[in-house]
Structure 1
Amino acid sequence: MNRLSSNWTIVLKIFIPVFWFMFFGALTLATFITNPVEVPQYTTSSFKTEMLIILITGTLFFLFTFVRLKRVDADDKYIYVSNYFKTYRYPVENIDKIVIYNHLILKVAHLYFTGNSSFGKKIFFIPFFVNLREFATK
Structure 2
Amino acid sequence: MYRLSSNATLFLKLFVPVFWTTILAALTIVAWFVRDNLFEGSLLTSFRYGTLFALVLAVISFLVLLWPLKRVETDGEKVYVSNYFRTAFYRWDQDVESFTETRFLFFRFATIRLNGVGSFGRKMRFLVDKSLLDNFKEELPGVLPHSEAT
TM-score (norm 1): 0.91
- Counterpart position of 1:32: 32
The letter for the 2-side match of 1:110 is T
Range that drifts further, 76-85 or 12-21 = 76-85
Considering only aligned residues, what root-mean-square deviation do their CA atoms show, in Å? 1.7
Corresponding residue for residue 60 of structure 1: 60
Task: Show the counterpart of 2:100.
Answer: 99
Identity of paired residues, percent?
33
Cα offset for 1:114? 1.4
The 1-side partners of 2:106 and 2:42 are apart by: 34
Counterpart code for 1:44: L
Q: Residue type of the partner of 1:113?
A: L
Q: Unpaired runs of 5+ in structure 2? A: 144-150
Aligned residue number for residue 3 of structure 2: 3
> Structure 2: how far apart are the matches of 1:19 and 1:42?
30
Q: What is the CA–CA distance in structure 2 between the aligned matches of 1:81 and 1:42, rounded to whole Å?
A: 52
Q: Greater share of helix residues, 1 or 2?
A: 1
Q: 1:127, 1:60 → 2: CA distance?
A: 23
Show CA shifts across 1:60-90 (max 9, x none): 1111101110000110321110001111111
TM-score (norm 2): 0.85
